[in-house]
Structure 1
Amino acid sequence: MSEKPTPLSGFPELLPEHRAVERQVIASMSRTFELHGFANIETRAVEPIERLSKGGEIDKEIYVLRRLQGDDSTAGDSGPSRQLGLHFDLTVPFARYVLEHSGKLEFPFRRYQIQPAWRGERPQEGRYRQFTQVDIDVIGRDELAFHHDVEVVRVMAEALAPLPLPPLSIQVNNRKLIQGFYRGLGIADVTGAIRTIDKLDKLPREEVARLLVDDAGATTDQAERCLELATIRVQDTSFVDRVRSLGVEDELLDTGLRELAAVVEGCAEAVTDRVTVEANLRIARGLDYYTGTVLEIFMAGYERLKSVAGGGRYDALATDGRTTYPGVGISFGISRTLVPLFNDGVLAPGPKVPSTVLVALVDEESRPASEAIASALRRRGIATEVAASAQKFGKQIRYAERRGIPYVWFPDTGTGASAGTGEVKDIRSGDQVAADPTTWTPKEADPS
């Protein structure tokens, strides 16, 4: 390149110290998911356009994949050429994955997936054209027991609790509760009412009330009761009595109340001072395929991002015409959450390099001896690098400091029994001791 490249907006790239934190977050969440028996999968980056654009709601955001020259046919495919696009989330490819591999999967199938996705929208804080997501789902064949709704929310709460993030609030509702309440009120366009209530975080209460009347066919009194329902938000099951006090009766409402209460009670043990679970009867989730539990996750101090995660129960997202695969899942935005925290300096960066030890270099002739010490340390799982050049030891120490390497090893240049040993200096405390690379171990708190 002959000139400095221009950054592409919406495609964030992390520095090594920020990438180290992202990897730690991903590793921590992965450990939690696997402790609960969730298997990891990775799907291809592309899907046929007709699958990605199903429903027509996101056509303008799909990145189309094509060759710069020649036709667009895919080698090995039979039949006419199929236009491909990059997936904009992990749910659509997962639904396809289940249909394609259903004969080889055991149901209920529990999976977690951590991959980038691409979405052609206007870049802004928390919304990018390329971003990394974490998804967990449990999917069944023809039916899926409700207790998996509780399980998925609890597992996500446990996965988020140890992360170095501001406090997180998992806000849960149930579409059956909302639909039953609106139906019991006598609102004709229940789906329209749900879509309108979902706008409460964007529009004033008075405007939402007007839209309920104008667009969903509600009366003024019905609209007011819908808004009363949407203001209920508690961290226990007291919402049940509050909903009952509104005087609406419906069988589906009863089911939704029971299910939401079960989620709140079932997640009580996972609640900490960093992650809370609460019933928020405003949460609706605009996507039509949600049929029961719905949730969104918000981060304290970053309400401007809206939710950093969302999900719920879907009873018919995947079907081959003979078998239906219901599921429940949550998508958590890794990039959406971490990048703003890095930009604001709220989240401390990690180490610039994974090295724990820098082996100093006396001179170029002694490089093999320094490399031998480094190899001995690496065989014991201690990340080690050798100094790039034989400068004065003071400069080599400053080089280690700039890179965030806590220990500098000074090789013994003698012969006989002392060969291959030396002294190691903790450059944070200044302590320096004699050491043997076959036995020395860094302090437990240090990375290795």
Structure 2
Amino acid sequence: MTRPTPLSGFPEWLPAQRLIEQSLIERIRRTFELHGFAPVETRAVEPLDQLLRKGETSKEVYVLRRLQADAADATDSGLGLHFDLTVPFARYVLENAGKLNFPFRRYQIQKCWRGERPQEGRYREFYQADIDVIDRDGLPNHYEAELPVVIAEALAGLPLTFKMHVNNRKLSEGFYRGAGLADPMAAIQAIDKLDKIGPDKVAALLAETAGATEAQAKACLALAEISAEDGSFAEAVAKLGVSDPLLDEGLAELTTVIETGREHAPGLLVADMRIARGLDYYTGTVYETFIAGRERFGSVCSGGRYDNLASLGDETFPGVGLSIGVSRILGVLFGQNALSVSRPTPTCVLVALPAEDDRPECNRIAAALRARGIATEVAPAPAKFGKQIKFADRRGIPFVWFPGAEQQVKDIRSGEQAAADPAQWTPPAADLYPVVG
């Protein structure tokens, strides 16, 4: 058999990296729950017509067939793996509306699959961590200011500086209406490409798709240049001389978001008029988060307000959500060797095995330690204690337990050894579980 080669875009972390990943996921989960978000997990597959109904591209969807042997049978080709968690959650709400209490605060941490071009920090299989607040018929705007604060707490402690760029679709749409553009949505989608294709091509796109004159395109690009970390952005927008009731509404909502962020998550939020989020289901505040100094990796936490994504007849379920790209952040951290873990195994204690006949007693010692929350394993085979200590050292296990009439435990890093009782001994808190730093 030839040596297998990795599949591009499908990361498989080493144990130490997986421990870091689990630590980050646990921190995110704990933060979400502290803010009252309840856990949800949706199925991995969705009907294609649901996945693609809000403007996503079919080229990025992994389509499922029932069996490889049935590759010629397209009966199941109407299913695809979800590539984000927002659309599946909207479907979940519609199916369970009678069982949920609104406003419903949900978090969801699971894998997604997207068939895009793999690159550093961007994968085809990846973890996302989402929070949403969704309500029936109406959703107060204060949630749009609350969610960035939750994200700031979830990502605190990482050796990275995050900047969340925020805009409001009402602001953008109202400005384009007030400027006289025939198709404000086309203008939003054109501005969304500004960082990718530059202002000249965006101006041409505005003329082609939104019917913009040269003066209108210039005004749209001038709006996109406005940014501020406080409410001063509203004055800059007013100076452009465009007026519209929807524009005023968007300015007021965005000001609330920015000022709330300044109070509860200082340094995180910046009002940025070029943030558009091209997906057509966003209706209010939109967010894109970048790692300071590493903006080339793209947004690592995005989302926004949506009023019409989940609807059933005349009943709507408006919501607002943010999604953390867990794997994308980890890819950046691992690529920069910015995080490490104190040991690559959860095992805290290795129980030495003098002889195979001693295994039952060693198993009892290990069980007693595990019952008290201390990760323990028994040596795989009897050998000289020096060899078993070297085995523990290679694994990164800090303590070796010696059975016998007078049991002893040794810290193999310092060489300190003392008598111990498995029903009472406790390692230092820093050694109980691998520490990420």
Alignment TM class, shorter chain as reference: over 0.9
1:72 Cα deviation after fit: 11
Distance, in Å, in 1 between the alignment partners of 2:392 and 2:77 is 53
Aligned match of 2:178 in 181, 184, 197? Answer: 184
Distance, in Å, in 1 between the alignment partners of 2:133 and 2:55 is 26
Are positions 1:42 and 2:41 aligned together?
yes
Deviates more, 1:57-66 or 1:328-337: 57-66
Deviates more, 1:38-47 or 1:225-234: 225-234
Distance, in Å, in 1 between the alignment partners of 2:427 and 2:325 is 35
Distance, in Å, in 2 between the alignment partners of 1:429 and 1:277 is 46
Distance, in Å, in 2 between the alignment partners of 1:192 and 1:19 is 42
**TM (normalized to structure 1)?**
0.91
* Offset from partner CA, 1:129-169 (integer Å, 9 cap, x none): 2111111111111111111111222211221113x241111
CA 1:298–1:97: 2 relative to 1, 3 Å: same
Match of 1:24 in 2: 23
Are positions 1:51 and 2:45 aligned together?
no
Are positions 1:124 and 2:109 aligned together?
no
Match of 1:434 in 2: 419
Are positions 1:330 and 2:322 aligned together?
yes
Are positions 1:443 and 2:428 aligned together?
yes
Structure 1 unaligned segments of length 5 or more: list them. 74-79
Are positions 1:266 and 2:260 aligned together?
yes
**Letter aligned with residue 3 of structure 1:** T
CA 1:209–1:324: 2 relative to 1, 3 Å: same
Deviates more, 1:195-204 or 1:326-335: 195-204
1:189 Cα deviation after fit: 2.2
**Is the Cα contact below 8 Å between 1:21 and 1:350 reproduced in 2?**
no
1:82 Cα deviation after fit: 7.8
Alignment of 1:29-178 (within 5 A): 29-55=28-54, 57-68=56-67, 69=69, 83-162=78-157, 164-178=158-172
Match of 2:239 in 1: 245
Aligned match of 1:386 in 378, 392, 399? Answer: 378
Deviates more, 1:402-411 or 1:25-34: 402-411
Are positions 1:203 and 2:188 aligned together?
no
Distance, in Å, in 2 between the alignment partners of 1:55 and 1:35 is 32
**Is the Cα contact below 8 Å between 1:20 and 1:351 reproduced in 2?**
no
Distance, in Å, in 2 between the alignment partners of 1:313 and 1:72 is 41
* Offset from partner CA, 1:104-132 (integer Å, 9 cap, x none): 11111110001111122232223322111
**Is the Cα contact below 8 Å between 1:377 and 1:438 reproduced in 2?**
yes
1:303 Cα deviation after fit: 1.4
**Is the Cα contact below 8 Å between 2:258 and 2:271 reproduced in 1?**
yes
Match of 1:77 in 2: none
Are positions 1:225 and 2:224 aligned together?
no
CA 1:350–1:296: 2 relative to 1, 3 Å: farther
1:209 Cα deviation after fit: 2.9
**TM (normalized to structure 2)?**
0.93
1:83 Cα deviation after fit: 3.0
Distance, in Å, in 2 between the alignment partners of 1:399 and 1:337 is 33
Distance, in Å, in 2 between the alignment partners of 1:156 and 1:187 is 35
CA 1:82–1:106: 2 relative to 1, 3 Å: farther
CA 1:289–1:102: 2 relative to 1, 3 Å: same
1:377 Cα deviation after fit: 0.9
Q: What SS does structure 2 have at the residue aligned with 1:385?
A: strand
**Is the Cα contact below 8 Å between 1:158 and 1:270 reproduced in 2?**
no
**Letter aligned with residue 328 of structure 1:** V
**Letter aligned with residue 381 of structure 1:** G
Aligned match of 1:310 in 294, 302, 312? Answer: 302
**Letter aligned with residue 434 of structure 1:** A
Distance, in Å, in 1 between the alignment partners of 2:347 and 2:208 is 63
Distance, in Å, in 1 between the alignment partners of 2:389 and 2:264 is 45
Deviates more, 1:325-334 or 1:225-234: 225-234
1:56 Cα deviation after fit: 6.0
Distance, in Å, in 1 between the alignment partners of 2:290 and 2:391 is 41
Distance, in Å, in 2 between the alignment partners of 1:399 and 1:301 is 41
Q: What SS does structure 2 have at the residue aligned with 1:51?
A: helix
Aligned match of 1:425 in 395, 410, 423? Answer: 410
**Is the Cα contact below 8 Å between 1:168 and 1:300 reproduced in 2?**
yes
Structure 2 unaligned segments of length 5 or more: list them. none
1:53 Cα deviation after fit: 2.7
Match of 2:277 in 1: 285
CA 1:81–1:241: 2 relative to 1, 3 Å: closer
Aligned match of 2:345 in 339, 342, 353? Answer: 353
Distance, in Å, in 1 between the alignment partners of 2:208 and 2:71 is 50
Q: What SS does structure 1 have at the residue aligned with 2:401?
A: strand
**Letter aligned with residue 110 of structure 1:** R
**Is the Cα contact below 8 Å between 1:171 and 1:279 reproduced in 2?**
yes
Q: What SS does structure 1 have at the residue aligned with 2:271?
A: strand
Name the Cα RMSD after superposition: 2.2
